[in-house]
Each structure stands twice: as C-alpha cells, then as structure tokens.
C-alpha cells in the first residue's frame, strides 16, 4: 500500500505538487478583517520534506488548510499537482483531497470506541473499497507503522505515540502522494516525537511528499527545507542539505528510565 513507486514517479516528473501564487486569506469577523495570509508564493516539489515554522498566529495553519483544500484563498491561485483547485466546487475539492492528501493533526483525531483497524479502514469506506480489500490495506498500513500487535485496541488503550501512528496509517492507507501534518508531535514527548519523525522520514524516502508544521527546532531540523512564516508572509526559506536523521537522534537520546531518574534527582 505504501507509495514506493511514487519515488520513481517523483523523479520522472518536474511539475511541482504544490504551487501557491499570490495567495492571500482574510477572515472577516463582525468587527474586523484579519489578514491571516498577506501574499504567499510557494512552490513545493514532489518528494520534498518541508517544515513550516513561525510564531503563533503567523498563518501556518491557515496556509496548511488552503494547501489541504479544506479552505479557499481570498486572493491568488492554488495549483495542486498541476490542477488549479482554487475555485473548484466543494465536491470536486473533496474528491481531490481524498485522492491526493493524507492529514495528520496534533490531536490525532481518531474515532473513540473504534479500533485501530477500523479507524484506518475508514478512508477506504469513503472511497467505496470493498470489505476484504479494506481489511488487507488497513493491515498493511498498520504493519508499516509498527502496530500489527495493536489492531483491536481503541484509542484510549494506546499511548500518544501509538495513537499518532494509527493516525499516520489512516492518512497513508489511500496511498496519497502528499502528507500534511499540523503539529503532529505537539502532544508528544521528545522521545515519541522522534519516533514519529523517524517514521515520517522513512515514508518520505519511499517517495511521499511531506509538509509539516512545528514549533520545535529539533523537529524542523529533520526536514530538508524549512519555511519561516511571520505576519501572514513567508520570511525565510532555507534548504537543509543534511537533515537530522530522527532514528539516529532517537538512539542518542537518554533512555526513558534514565530520564526519569534525572527528573527525580
């Protein structure tokens, strides 16, 4: 199920997967107009791993919602995988979203009282995939994130990191070329954050494009490009030739028992 073949596809195509041109977003409330995005030009190529950083309120989530076709820009043009989606109907955008994008959120957003397996199968239900095929793909996705032993656990029976891995499996079960993650490690401790990042880096090496919002510099250091936002604009755009390998960083972290002892002393 994992998009291994997209690694090859990505090399063969030079069309960017994301292209924002002069994009702005205003939120109009009773009293004021908030210019959440002023003017954003951004191009992201297939296979890239981009971190978006910036102060609270700088427009990161607003931009992610536009990239994810969850919201429309007030100005400008958004092309997703070569297709101008700016003013497509909501139905058309829902189809595009379902085909091209996997989402991971800070709060995991799993259905409670629903097993890991059922949570991961859900996007396939929306796609009309038959029961046997759904089961097969969901099992493969959960295996890929290392949760083959937790298929029938509900979210409240899983740790935070495990819940986020279920959410990643759910995002990947449809083999989308693009994964969007808004603070995926925001609710996780340092160790678990690096575990999740190691998984994302592995998926990226297999070809999936990743755009991730984070407040944490050591998470951003794992990306190959870091975009800094401020006041609704992109103020920095830096390539990182040698991203930190999250699996290596994880191995170098003190063991949990040692960390507990440090805290206790």
Ligand X SMILES: Nc1ncnc2c1ncn2[C@@H]1O[C@H](COP(=O)(O)OP(=O)(O)OP(=O)(O)O)[C@@H](O)[C@H]1O
Taking CB under 5 A as the rule, does residue 61 contact Mg ion?
A: yes
Q: Which residue is nearest to Mg ion (CB)?
A: 61
Taking CB under 5 A as the rule, does residue 163 contact Mg ion?
A: no
Q: Residue 239 pairs with which residues in a beta bridge? A: 225
- Least distance between ligand X and beta carbon 54 (Å): 6
- Least distance between Mg ion and beta carbon 215 (Å): 9
- Least distance between ligand X and beta carbon 186 (Å): 9
- Least distance between Mg ion and beta carbon 237 (Å): 19
What are the C-alpha distances in Å from 74 to residues 25, 29, 67, 117?
5, 14, 13, 39
- For 48-84, b/e burial (b = at least 16 CB within 10 A) is bbbbbbbeeebbbbbbbbbbbbebbbbebebbbbeee
Q: Which stretch binds Mg ion (CB under 5 A): 61-69, 101-109, 121-129, 149-157?
A: 61-69
- Backbone φ, ψ for residue 234 (5° rounding): -85, 120
Nearer to Mg ion, 55 or 159 (CB): 55
- Least distance between ligand X and beta carbon 107 (Å): 12
Nearer to ligand X, 27 or 126 (CB): 27
Q: Which stretch binds Mg ion (CB under 5 A): 15-23, 54-62, 81-89, 235-243?
A: 54-62
- DSSP output for 84-148: E-TT--HHHHHHHHHHHEEEEETT--PPTTS-HHHHHHHHHHHTT--HHHHHHHHHHHHHHTT-G
The residues that touch ligand X, with contacts defined as CB under 6 A, are 27, 29, 34, 36, 54, 56-62
Interacting partner of 243 out of ligand X, Mg ion, none (Cβ under 5 to 8 A depending on kind): none
Q: Are 84 and 18 in contact (CB under 8 A)?
A: no
Task: Please give the residue ranges that form the binding site for Mg ion (CB under 5 A).
Answer: 61
């Amino acid at each position: 199920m994992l998009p291994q073949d997209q690694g090859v596809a990505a090399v063969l195509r030079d069309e960017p997967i994301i292209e924002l041109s002069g994009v702005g977003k205003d939120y109009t409330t009773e009293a004021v107009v908030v210019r959440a995005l002023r003017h954003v030009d951004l191009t992201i190529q297939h296979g890239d791993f981009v971190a978006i950083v910036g102060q609270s309120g700088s427009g990161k989530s607003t931009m992610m919602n536009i990239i994810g076709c969850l919201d429309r820009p007030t100005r400008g043009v958004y092309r997703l995988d070569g297709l101008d989606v700016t003013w497509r109907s909501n139905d058309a955008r829902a189809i595009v979203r379902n085909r091209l994008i996997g989402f991971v959120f800070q709060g995991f957003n799993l259905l409670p009282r629903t097993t890991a397996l059922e949570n991961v199968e859900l996007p396939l239900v929306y796609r009309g995939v038959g029961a046997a095929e759904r089961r097969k793909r969901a099992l493969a996705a959960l295996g890929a994130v290392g949760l083959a032993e937790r298929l029938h656990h509900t979210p409240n029976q899983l740790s935070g990191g495990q819940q986020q891995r279920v959410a990643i499996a759910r995002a990947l079960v449809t083999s989308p070329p693009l994964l969007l993650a808004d603070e995926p490690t925001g609710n996780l401790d340092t160790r678990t954050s690096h575990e999740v990042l190691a998984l994302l880096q592995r998926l990226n090496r297999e070809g999936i494009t990743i755009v991730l919002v984070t407040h944490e510099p050591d998470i951003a250091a794992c990306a190959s490009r870091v975009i800094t936002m401020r006041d609704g604009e992109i103020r920095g755009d830096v390539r990182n030739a040698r991203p930190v390998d999250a699996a290596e960083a994880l191995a170098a972290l003190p063991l949990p028992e040692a960390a507990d002892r440090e805290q206790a002393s």
